[in-house]
Structure 1
Amino acid sequence: MFTGIVQGIATVEQITDRPGLRSFTLRFPPGFAQGLAIGASVSTDGVCLTVTALRGDDAADFDVMLQSLNLTSLGSLVEGSRVNVERAARDGAEIGGHPLSGHIDFTAQVAEVRRPENNQVLRIQVPSPWMRYVFAKGYIAVNGASLTVAEADRRAGWFEVWLIPETLRMTTFGEKGPGDRLNIEIERQTQVFVDTVRDTLDERLGPLMPLLEQFLAEKGLGTELLAGSAPRLDGPIRS
């Protein structure tokens, strides 16, 4: 498990391809790899990878299967690429973000970047039907970072996150531009809530559901609102 608090930026030092497999050597920031062992888990741009070899005090190898390369942004990495990294959480560790598995649900694209004073705003375009799990003020993981959704537009299929200077310093988000691919892991409690509501509605309403969904879509709403309220996602805004 990971906390979604990125601990530093690693650099892809070497890439080795084998049939159905690609190996990455990552060079970590000073101190990151202290006590790291073979078999340990490291979140790499949000993807949980396993250490397969250690290279001195600040580098390690990771094997990535073909499916993971296709389903995440790791397949587009080249030597010199920079990635967000976080080591697996220890028992009793403070969860400064929200619990993450390191299993990516989908990739999205940066649609727009705005830079108001002392901030950076990323508008992220989301493929259907994943927007049903994205709520303003809800949690979401982007390239391994636990962030709070500032604004979401279901009809247009995008959400925005605001990033403070400290987040930009500790991550690669400052390097992202329109068209860049991002790894997204949705918040599991939100997914369970939305899917449970949809299954219940399907059971009770049956043939009426397509008409109801069309009506709500025209109003810019989702079927989860029929449960009485959107998922409660209390907590501080993180950027």
Structure 2
Amino acid sequence: MFTGIVQGLAEVISAEHRENFMQLTLALPPANCDQLQLGASIAVNGTCLTITHFEDNQVCFDLIAQTLSTTNLGQLQVGDRVNFERAARIGDEIGGHLLSGHVHDLAEVTRIERSPNNCTLWLKTAEKWRRYIFDKGFIALDGCSLTVKNCTDEGFCVGLIPETLSITRFGFITEGDLINLEIDSHTQAVVDSVERYLEHRSSN
């Protein structure tokens, strides 16, 4: 489980591709490497990955076909930087909202509006996910817990504060980039339950 509070940026050291498989190695900031363990989970651009090997501050992960087809991790190249968050522990402060690290889909950045102290990011999403996205609702983008600013017929937008821009990959995002999207599980459960109830009522 994760909180959506990105802890920083990790650098891609290697990305070895094989058929429907990739082995990814990241360099984490040394300050975030205490008590690393094999089998532990780290969210990379919001995707829950399992540590398969580590040495000093370099951490390795295996990515299978489902992960590569659903997320933006398959596009990574050496030198790229990614958002990371180590798994939450019991007693940790939940500063964002609870995330599973199971990415639902990719959202495309269609427009970026920047000013000295603000940044608005506009994204296009698939229709099947838009019914779960509401003004002022929670959304996770590349593992970052954010509040939806406005919804449109094709997607939504979020506002990014300077702190978010400084410690996450949103500081150097560009139009056309694909962002990992995880919708809020509680919102999804409520919407699905209401839709099933209404469908049941209309059929009786």
TM-score by length of 2: 0.97
Letter in 2 for 1:174: G
Paired-residue identity, %: 46
The answer for the alignment partner of 2:32 in structure 1 is 32
Once the two structures are TM-superposed, the CA of residue 146 in structure 1 deviates from its matched residue by 0.3
> Which stretches in structure 1 are left out of the alignment for 5+ residues?
208-239
- State the Cα deviation string for residues 74-123 of structure 1 (Å, max 9, x = none): 11111111100000001111000000000001111001000023111100
The answer for the alignment partner of 1:213 in structure 2 is none
Q: Structure 2 matches for 1:130-169, cutoff 5 A? A: 130-153=129-152, 156-169=153-166
SS at match of 1:110: strand
The answer for the alignment partner of 2:181 in structure 1 is 184
The answer for the alignment partner of 2:200 in structure 1 is 203
The answer for the alignment partner of 2:53 in structure 1 is 53
- State the Cα deviation string for residues 155-195 of structure 1 (Å, max 9, x = none): x2211111111111110001111110000111111001111
The answer for the alignment partner of 1:22 in structure 2 is 22
Letter in 2 for 1:53: H
Q: Distance in 2 between matches of 1:182 and 1:61?
A: 22
Q: Structure 2 matches for 1:85-234, cutoff 5 A? A: 85-153=84-152, 156-206=153-203
Letter in 1 for 2:64: M
SS at match of 1:31: helix
Q: Distance in 1 between matches of 2:159 and 2:104?
A: 22
Once the two structures are TM-superposed, the CA of residue 19 in structure 1 deviates from its matched residue by 3.6
Does 1:79 pair with 2:78? yes
Structure (1 or 2) with the greater strand fraction: 2
Q: Distance in 2 between matches of 1:157 and 1:201?
A: 25
- Tell me the number of residue pairs that the alignment of Structure 1 and Structure 2 aligns: 204
Q: Distance in 2 between matches of 1:54 and 1:158?
A: 38
SS at match of 1:9: strand
Backbone CA RMSD of aligned residues: 1.2
TM-score by length of 1: 0.83
- State the Cα deviation string for residues 52-83 of structure 1 (Å, max 9, x = none): 00122x11100000111011111111111110
Q: Distance in 2 between matches of 1:138 and 1:184?
A: 14
Contact 2:12 2:25 in 1 (8 A): yes
Once the two structures are TM-superposed, the CA of residue 135 in structure 1 deviates from its matched residue by 0.5
Larger radius of gyration: 1
Contact 2:20 2:68 in 1 (8 A): no
- Structure of greater relative contact order (alpha carbons < 8 Å, 6+ residues apart): 2
Letter in 2 for 1:45: N
Once the two structures are TM-superposed, the CA of residue 206 in structure 1 deviates from its matched residue by 3.7
Q: Distance in 2 between matches of 1:121 and 1:18?
A: 37
